[in-house]
Amino acid sequence: MNFVRDIIQKKGPQVAAVSADQSVLSAAQLMNDRRIGSVVVTQGETVVGIFTERDILTRVVAAQKDPAGVAVRDVMTHPCVVCGPEDEITQCQAMMTEKHIRHIPVVSEGKLVGIISSGDILASSKVQLEEAVRYLSEYIYG
């Protein structure tokens, strides 16, 4: 798998998303229920930001804000890094490393079509390495 589309095809296009008007508490509950580290913030079908565990910790908890009384728009990360289905995984991996992020929404023709995480990239790399080892073992040992 060399492209973002390959990961999206394997894991599926479902993405947890919230509106910018929702409370931090409702977004955190969604993240907790789905056992995920981020939600994409949308306005209609347009990505306007991303809301992560780090945002909760640094912009809500450490700032002593009431999660029920704060809107996601006030503490989300925006603008957020996005990628397209035709982008190479290595480019996304480099972007994640450079920007110190773990999630990138996938956008095609202005619409949210998926999300990839550093874990998805690691799993993809693992599969590729296992295939290479198997191929080389067969080549060497017949």
pLDDT of residue 44: 85
Burial class of residue 25 (count of CB atoms within 10 Å of its CB; 0-12, 13-18, 19+) = middle
- Read off the pLDDT of residues 107-142 as tens digits, 9 standing for 90 and up: 999 999 999 999 899 888 777 777 888 888 888 887
Please say if the pLDDT value at position 53 is more than 90. yes
Vertex 33: Cα angle to 31 and 38 (nearest 5): 15
Enumerate domains of the chain plus CATH numbers.
4-141 (3.10.580.10)
pLDDT at 26 over 80: yes
Q: Is the dihedral of CA 25, 69, 79, 106 positive or negative?
A: positive
Please report the pLDDT score of residue 1 as a whole number: 54
Contact call for residues 29 and 4 (beta carbons, < 8 A): no
Query: Of 4-18, 48-62, 123-137, where does mean pLDDT reach its minimum?
Result: 123-137
Query: HSE on the CB side for 42, CA within 13 Å?
Result: 19
**Predicted local confidence at residue 138, as pLDDT:** 83
Peptide bond into 13 cis (omega under 30): no
- pLDDT confidence band for 87 (50 / 70 / 90): very high
